[in-house]
Amino acid sequence: MFKHSRELEIEWGDCDAAGIVFYPRYFAMFDASTAYLLEAAMGMKKAEWTKHFDILGIPMVDTGASFKVPSKYGDVIRIESEVSAIGRTSFEIRHKVFKGDVLAIEAHEKRVWVAGNPEDPKSIAAKPLPEDLIARLRAESPTEPS
């Protein structure tokens, strides 16, 4: 399945009073990593693919993480993101965070492909994943950092 990897440096604002990354910041990093994975798979930025496919977004419906090694200001980490499952209207991503060669975090998320609900304009509704997107997400991919 499709994979994407990126490196980033931990910024001062990512850290808590103990000097380590405040755990919700990792979920923001995972959110961006998922967007970058889809960008790499589709060859277009998120602002473009939401318009192209006429969707509102890809809200998360399940997530979790196992934190093994903390990171602190100035550390460089690598986030490896991979599609782990594809359903009719949803997909799952597995994230692994490495500090050097050490596995620091394992995380997962499930997202739903959503658009405006034609039956209720004030709500959203799941929409089937486009076949061409499914094919791209099932493909092997380069894993070089972005």
Catalytic sites, residue numbers: 16
Q: How far apart are CA 134 and CA 43, in angstroms?
A: 14
Burial (0-12, 13-18, 19+ Cβ within 10 Å), 98 = middle
CA distances from 5 to 30, 123, 132, 143 (A): 11, 34, 22, 5
